[in-house]
Every structure is written in C-alpha cells, then in structure tokens.
Amino acid sequence: MFFSLQHWRVKLLLHALSAMKASPHIAFVRCIDRPHSAAAVAAAEAAAAAAEAAAAAEAAAAAAAAAAAGDAAADSDAATGRQINTTTTAAAAAAAAKAAAAAAAKAASSASTPSASTAAAAASTAAATATGAAAAGYTNLSGQCGVWQSHTMLQQQQQQQQQQQQQQQQQKGNPIDRELLLRRLQIEQQQTAAAAKEKRVRAQEAAAAALAAAKDAAAAAAAAAAAKDAAAAAAAAAEGNRNAAAAAEKTAAAAAVAAAEATTTTTTTTTPTAAAAAATEAATAAAARAAAALEKQLLLLQHQEQQQQQQQQKQQQQQQQEQQQR
C-alpha cells in the first residue's frame, strides 16, 4: 500500500481530469500491487469483480446522466480507455464496498496459505477504505484501484501557500515599516519640539518688548509729572513775581501820593523836597525791578513749555519706531 502521485494509475487519472477540463485536485490513492500467489490473485480478482459488479449496476444510470447532461465523464472514458464512474452516490459506493468486503472475507476464509490470507486482508482493508470514503462523500473514480478525489484540496493548498507567502512578505516588510514609522515619529517629535521652542522664544521676546514699553511709558509718565510740577512751580513763581510787582507798583504809587501830598502841604518851598524825590526814585526802581523779574519768569515758563513739547515729541517718535519694529 502507498500514497504517491508518481503511480501510473494516478498519472492516468490526472490526465483524464485534465482532458475533462476540470481543475486538478489532490488524489488520495490506495492501491494494492498484484500478488504473486494464485490464491491471492483469485482473492484480488474476486474483490475487483465484486466492485465491478457493484459499479456495473450504476453504469446505465451514469451513461444516461452523461448523455443527458453532457457530463465530462464520457470524454474521460475515451481519453483513458477505462471505466470511470463519476455519478456514483455515496450509498451506491458504500454498497459496492460492502460487497467487495464480503467477497474478500470469503476469499480469506477459503485461502489456506499465509500469503493468500494477507492478500485477502489487504483486499478487505481496501474495501473498508472504500466504504469510509463513500461514507465521507467522495466519488469512486476507478474500479480497479481505490482512488478518491478530494473536494478542493489543491485550491486550499494554493490559498494556504499564497497566505503564507503574503505573511512572509509582510513579516519581511514589517521591520522596514517599523523603522520608517520610528523615523517619522522621531522627525515629528523633533519638529514639535522645535515649534514649541520657537513659540517660547517668541513669547519671551513679546514679554520683554511689553516690559520695555511699560518702562518707557512709566518714564514718560514720570517726566510728564515732573514737567507738570515744574510748570506749577513756575506758575507759582510767576504769580509771586506778579504779586511782588503789584506790591512794588502799589508802593511806588503810595510814594508818589505821599510826594504829591508833601508838595501840596509845603508852602514855604516851591520845589519838591529831597525826601519826596528819593521816594519817587525808589518806587520807580522797585517797579522796574518787578517788571524785569516778571519778564524773566515769563521767559522761563516759555522755555519749560518748549522743553516739555520736545520731550513729548521724542517720546511719540520712540513709540512709533517701536511699533514699526514689532
């Protein structure tokens, strides 16, 4: 007994399947070589005759089905020159196998030599295998040799091979894909870190610029406050000078009045006295000094106002330059 695709019967069967334009499948073969003893030959022939007799019962139905449906079994008969029954049902195959097993058992009981009993046992085993195959739903394709065609074993094997190849390719490609993914992740992380760093730098620069602007604004406010204080002091000084000038004018007027009174009350002399003249001169000098001080205060106020305007213009120019730089 053997399982081989190199057997001539198997090759013949595969050629027949190719002639029928059917997809080749894996064929499970269980054959018994021709025995040497006469008893074994008789037992094998009896088993083969029983199988052929069982198959002949279905030959007419097989021929009718092949003729009506255009089954490819008729072409295989012409191609192989052998009887191939492709329409045997599982029940018919089981009945034929049981008949073959009974014939083999009778041959084994009538045989007297060990070789004959061995051949009969082999025939019985083959019949039992045929019975199991028929029960499993396989189709008996040969009456001389126990050959059963699997359903789609070759296609399944091809699919499995393709899946294995795909898995191997994926496994081969996976390391490269992983390396590429790792590199991409590293690049993305570096880019993210660089972007975050740039954002931090920009935020720091903006904060520094805002702080500098705040300092400049505070300095400008302090300068404006100082200018206001100076202006207020100058205004107060000017007001004091004005008051002093007014007082001097009043003093001069009083002196003039006193001098006039002195001139009117004195009847003995026709010219003003020396005291009145001195008072008049003193009043005139005081008025002149008050006027000069007032002019000085006015000039100082004008100068301070000009300085304040210049400082304000400078601050505005600096702010405009900073805004343009931003």
Could you list the pLDDT tens digit for every one of the 326 residues in the chain?
334 555 666 666 666 766 766 555 554 544 444 444 555 556 656 666 666 666 555 554 555 555 555 444 434 433 333 333 333 344 454 555 566 556 655 655 554 444 445 555 555 555 555 444 444 444 444 444 444 444 445 566 778 888 888 887 776 655 556 778 888 889 999 999 999 999 999 999 988 888 888 888 888 888 888 878 877 877 777 777 777 777 777 777 777 777 666 666 554 444 456 666 777 777 777 777 777 877 887 888 888 888 888 888 888 888 888 877 76
Domain boundary among 151, 177, 200: 151
Cα–Cα distance, 158 to 322 (Å, whole number) = 77
Does residue 44 share a domain with residue 133?
A: yes
Does residue 31 share a domain with residue 101?
A: yes
In a domain, 147, yes or no: yes
Domain boundary among 112, 132, 151: 151
The pLDDT value given to residue 173: 57
* Contacts with 181 (C-beta within 8 Å, 6 or more apart), sequence order: none
> From residue 180, how far is each of 173, 237, 311 by CA, in Å?
11, 84, 64
Does residue 144 share a domain with residue 13?
A: yes
CB atoms within 10 A of CB 314: 12
Total domain count, the chain: 2
Does residue 230 share a domain with residue 315?
A: yes
Domain range for 320: 211-325
In a domain, 197, yes or no: no
In a domain, 199, yes or no: no
In a domain, 222, yes or no: yes
In a domain, 178, yes or no: no
Secondary element (H or E) of residue 49:
helix 38-56
Does residue 135 share a domain with residue 231?
A: no
Does residue 225 share a domain with residue 117?
A: no
The pLDDT value given to residue 53: 62
In a domain, 163, yes or no: no
In a domain, 317, yes or no: yes
Does residue 100 share a domain with residue 220?
A: no
Listed residue (7, 149, 39) closest to 85, CA to CA: 149
In a domain, 32, yes or no: yes
